[in-house]
Structure 1
Amino acid sequence: MENFIRVRNLDEFKRFTQDTESFWLMKHSNTCPISAAAWNEYGEYASMHPNQLFLFLIVQEDRDLSNQLAEITGIKHESPQVFHFYEERVDWNKSHKDITDEAMKEFIA
């Protein structure tokens, strides 16, 4: 999917988001079964919304970016964790088992 993009550092994050009014971001752990389930939910929602931007990072490999985003947003790091950004601010976030396709649909509705 062209709208499903991995970001690995703050420069990439800024490059993809600088002209984007709203977008999603997932912090994914590639060793956690809860994160695997959340990853499936995130991917399912992304596949149904090709006009929205979905970014992700892998916390084990992109730790610096994960920590920088916690500082920027003021939201404590958790994994898995999904954020929705609107006009450069987080206006929705969920973690662990609260990350569902349905929760994302309800937020956007």
Structure 2
Amino acid sequence: MTPWQPLTQPEQLQEIVRESHEQPVLIFKHSTSCSISAAAKGKIERQWADAGLADTKLYYLDLLRFRPISSEIAQQFGVQHESPQLLLIRDGECQYNASHMGIRLSDVKNAVG
């Protein structure tokens, strides 16, 4: 089972930055009305158990309900907004991001090292 942590408050971004200094943190930005986003989310859920990322916290952002948070993510971490999008935050910075069908947990695992 995927350990989704809901990202619903802008203040959580400060918490994510703090956490990222102790362990890598992932943010998955999901549009509930997009079939490509649904496919990417399903792929993450199917692959999570075997991805070797059990120590990585995984946040889930519903873009339709919390669009301003996505804009803050883009500004804070210097990434262009896309959906779906997976970002790896470590040491307060975005060290990996991928979107659409380019999202691969194996790439995240390699980036985490």
Q: State TM-score, norm by structure 1.
A: 0.84
CA gap 1:106/1:15 in 2 versus in 1, 3 angstroms: closer
- Once the two structures are TM-superposed, the CA of residue 2 in structure 1 deviates from its matched residue by 8.4
TM superposition outliers: structure 1 runs of 4+ over 2 Å? 1-4, 12-17, 41-50, 100-109
Aligned residues: 109
Q: Percent identity?
A: 23
Distance 2:70 2:44 in 1: 18
Query: Cα RMSD over matched residues?
Result: 2.1
Q: Which of 45, 66, 69 is the equivalent residue of 2:70?
A: 66
Q: Which of 31, 34, 37 is the equivalent residue of 2:33?
A: 31
Deviations 1:3-23 (A, max 9, x none): 420111221232354233221
- Once the two structures are TM-superposed, the CA of residue 56 in structure 1 deviates from its matched residue by 1.4
SS in structure 1 at match of 2:80: coil
Q: Is the 8 A contact 1:24 1:53 kept in 2?
A: yes
